Amino acid sequence: MDEKKLATLVADLKTVLKARDIIVLDSDTAILKYEIKRAISQINRCRHFEPTDDKPYDTKYEDLIIPLSLSAFTKIGADGETVHSENGITRHYTSGGDYPIELLKEIVPLIK
């Protein structure tokens, strides 16, 4: 993936995290890049898309990269959590692993 594009996606993800009052450290950049690459891989798998150097993912689904990355990043430390309540906040995760099924359903597989 083009390093410039990856840097832009990381900056976008940092902006979203900060807007949600999630503290983002400079040392988090590597994990953010990792989560973005994982999200792109997930999109490609669901889409049955074969990435190339020129086109690492189907740009039709570019708007899902940040939400998928955000979902995975915010679940760090709570792997597999099904229900958690604390200070009036209840969290539970769907069976979609790191990614919400609702987001994955938006990806239409290519027919080959």
Residue range 16-51, pLDDT digits in tens = 999 999 999 999 999 999 999 999 999 999 999 999
Residue 94 has pLDDT above 80, yes or no: no
Q: Are 13 and 66 in contact (CB under 8 A)?
A: yes
Strand partners, 89: 86
80: in domain: yes
Number of domains in the chain: 1
Q: d(Cα 71, Cα 12) in Å, to the nearest integer? A: 14
pLDDT of res. 40: 98
Whether 55 is in a domain gets the answer: yes
Q: Domain for residue 110, yes or no?
A: no
Give a yes or no: residue 15 inside a domain.
yes
79 within domain boundaries: yes
Please report whether residue 76 resides in a domain.
yes
Which residues constitute the domain of residue 10? 3-104
What is the CA angle 59-18-101, rounded to 5? 50
48: nearest Cα among 109, 98, 6, 92: 109
In a domain, 112, yes or no: no
Does 8 map to a domain?
yes
The highest-confidence range among 40-44, 70-74, 96-100, by mean pLDDT, is 40-44
